[in-house]
Amino acid sequence: MNYRHSFHAGNSADVVKHSLLIELVRALQQKPGALTLIDTHAGCGLYDLGGEDARRTGEALQGVLRTFEDANPLLDDYRAAVRAVNVSSEPHLYPGSPRILAQLVRPQDFLILNEKHPEDADTLRRAMRDTSAAVHERDAYEFWRAMVPPRTARGVVIVDPPYEQTDERARITATLAAAYPKWSHGVTVIWYPLKDRSLHWRWKEQLRSLGIRKFLNVEHWLYDVDQPGIYNGAGLFIINPPYAFTQALPPMLEVLRAVLAPEGHRGAITADWLTG
DSSP 47-78: EETTSHHHHHH-GGGGTHHHHTT---GGGHHH
pLDDT at position 229, please?
60
Q: How far apart are CA 44 and CA 97, in angstroms?
A: 9
* CATH class for the domain made up of 5-275: alpha beta
Residue 139 appears among annotated catalytic residues: no
Concatenate the DSSP letters of all residues of 253-271 into one string: HHHHHHHHPPTT---EEEE
| Least confident interval from 46-60, 108-122, 148-162 | 46-60
The alpha carbon torsion through 132, 36, 247, 176 (nearest 10 deg) reads 130
Kindly name the residue from 14, 39, 120, 160 that is annotated as catalytic: 160
Using 50, 70 and 90 to split pLDDT, how confident is the model at 4?
A: low
pLDDT digit string, tens, across residues 19-78: 999 999 999 999 999 999 999 999 999 999 988 877 777 788 889 999 999 999 999 999
pLDDT at position 196, please?
79
Buried residues in 96-105 as b, exposed as e (16+ CB within 10 A): bbbbbbbebb
Specify the pTM: 0.94
pLDDT digit string, tens, across residues 84-100: 999 987 899 999 999 99
Q: Tell me if 218 sits within 8 A of 253, measured CB to CB.
A: yes
User: What value does the mean pLDDT take over residues 166-189?
Assistant: 97
Using 50, 70 and 90 to split pLDDT, how confident is the model at 1?
A: very low
Q: How far apart are CA 35 and CA 152, in angstroms?
A: 6
The domain spans of the chain are 5-275
